[in-house]
Amino acid sequence: MIHSTVVRVDQNTPTVRSIGFKWDCKVLPGQFIMVWIPGIGEIPISLSSTGNLKEITVKSYGPASDALTKLETGSRIFFRGPYGRPFTLVKGKTLLIGGGSGMASLKPLINERSYAIVSARTRDELLFSDKIHEGNLHLVTDDGSIGIKGTPLNALEKLNLTEFEMIYVCGPEIMLKKIFDSLRGKKVRAEFAMERTMKCGIGVCDSCSIDGLQLCRDGSIFSMEEVMEMEEFGRTKLSESGRRIILNY
Amino acid sequence: MSNRLQTVISGLRLDNPLILASGILDENGYTMKRILKEGAAAVVTKSIGSAERSGYKPPVVVEIGGGNMINAIGLANPGIENFGNEVKIAREAGKPVIGSIFGADAEEFSNLAKKMASYGVSGIELNLSCPHVKGVGQEIGSDPDLVESIVGEVKRSVNIPVFAKLSPNVSDIMELAKAADRADALVLINTVRAMAIDVYARRPVLSNVYGGLSGPAIKPVGLRYVYEVKKETGKEIIGVGGIQSAEDTLEYIMAGASCVEIGTALHTGGRSVFRAISRDLENLMASEKLDSISDTIGMAIQR
- Give tens-digit pLDDT for B154-200: 999 999 999 999 999 988 899 999 999 999 999 999 999 999 999 99
CB within 8 Å: A241 and B78: yes
B3: pLDDT strictly greater than 90: no
pLDDT at B302: 95
pLDDT at B200: 96
> Contacts of residue B32 in chain A, CB cutoff 8 Å?
212
Average pLDDT, chain B: 96
Q: Which of B54, B79, B267 sits opposite A204 (nearest CB)?
A: B267
Interface of A with B in 18-57 (CB under 8 A): 34, 36, 38-39, 41-43
pLDDT at B131: 75
CB within 8 Å: B34 and A212: yes
- Band of residue B129 on the pLDDT scale cut at 50, 70, 90: confident
**φ/ψ of residue A180, rounded to 5:** -55, -50
For B1-67, give the DSSP string.
Answer: --GGG-EEETTEEESSSEEEPTTSS-SSHHHHHHHHHTT-SEEEPPPB-SS-B--PPSP-EEEEETT
> Contacts of residue A36 in chain B, CB cutoff 8 Å?
59, 201, 205
Is B259 known to be catalytic? no
Maximum pairwise Cα distance, chain A: 50
- The ipTM (two decimal places) reads 0.93
- The active-site residue out of B32, B101, B130, B164 is B130
Burial string for A200-234 (b: 16+ CB within 10 Å, else e) reads bbbbbbbbbbbbbbbbbbbbbbbebebbeebebbb
B146: pLDDT strictly greater than 70: yes
B1: pLDDT strictly greater than 70: no
> Contacts of residue A201 in chain B, CB cutoff 8 Å?
61
- CA–CA dist B178, B172 (Å, integer): 11
pLDDT at A6: 98
pLDDT at B183: 98
Give bridge partners of residue A167 from the DSSP assignment.
A95, A190
> Contacts of residue A214 in chain B, CB cutoff 8 Å?
25, 31
Maximum pairwise Cα distance, chain B: 54
What residue of B is the nearest CA neighbor of A77? B201
pLDDT at A208: 96
A203: pLDDT strictly greater than 90: yes
CB within 8 Å: A199 and B73: yes
- CA–CA dist B248, B276 (Å, integer): 13
Q: For testing the chain A interface, which of B25, B28, B80, B213 should be mutated: the one with the most A CBs within 10 Å? A: B28
Q: Cβ neighbours of residue A87 under 8 Å, at least 6 residues apart? A: A28, A29, A30, A109, A168, A191, A193, A221
pLDDT at B2: 66
**A3 interface with B at CB cutoff 8 Å:** yes
- CA–CA dist B13, B16 (Å, integer): 9
CB within 8 Å: B263 and A239: no
For A65-100, the pLDDT digits (tens) are 999 999 999 999 999 999 999 999 999 999 999 999
Proportion of chain B above pLDDT 70, given as a percent: 99
Chain A to chain B Cβ contacts (< 8 Å): 131
The model carries a pTM of: 0.95
> Contacts of residue A241 in chain B, CB cutoff 8 Å?
52-55, 76-79
CB within 8 Å: B207 and A207: no
A249: pLDDT strictly greater than 90: no
For B121-173, give the DSSP string.
Answer: -SEEEEE---SSSTTSTHHHHT-HHHHHHHHHHHHHH-SS-EEEE--SSSS-H
Q: Give the amino acid at B209.
A: V
CB within 8 Å: B28 and A206: yes
**Residue (of B8, B54, B4) closest to B27 by Cα position:** B54
CB within 8 Å: A243 and B55: no
For B269-288, give the DSSP string.
Answer: H-TTHHHHHHHHHHHHHHHT
Give bridge partners of residue A138 from the DSSP assignment.
A117
- CA–CA dist B235, A120 (Å, integer): 62
Pick A12 or B139 by higher pLDDT: A12
Q: Which of B73, B198, B203 sits opposite A205 (nearest CB)?
A: B73
**A242 interface with B at CB cutoff 8 Å:** yes
pLDDT at B93: 98
- Band of residue A238 on the pLDDT scale cut at 50, 70, 90: very high
Give the distance from residue A36's alpha carbon to the nearest chain B alpha carbon, in angstroms: 7
- CA–CA dist B6, B278 (Å, integer): 11
Average pLDDT, chain A: 96
Choice among A49-58, A197-206, B130-139, B227-236 with the minimum mean pLDDT: B130-139
pLDDT at B132: 77
pLDDT at B116: 98
For B245-279, the pLDDT digits (tens) are 999 999 999 999 999 999 999 998 999 999 999 99
Query: Average pLDDT, stretch B240-244?
Result: 97
CB within 8 Å: B30 and A217: no
pLDDT at B134: 81
Give the distance from residue B287's alpha carbon to the nearest chain A alpha carbon, in angstroms: 33
- CA–CA dist B245, B210 (Å, integer): 28
**Residue (of B71, B72, B73, B69) closest to B217 by Cα position:** B69
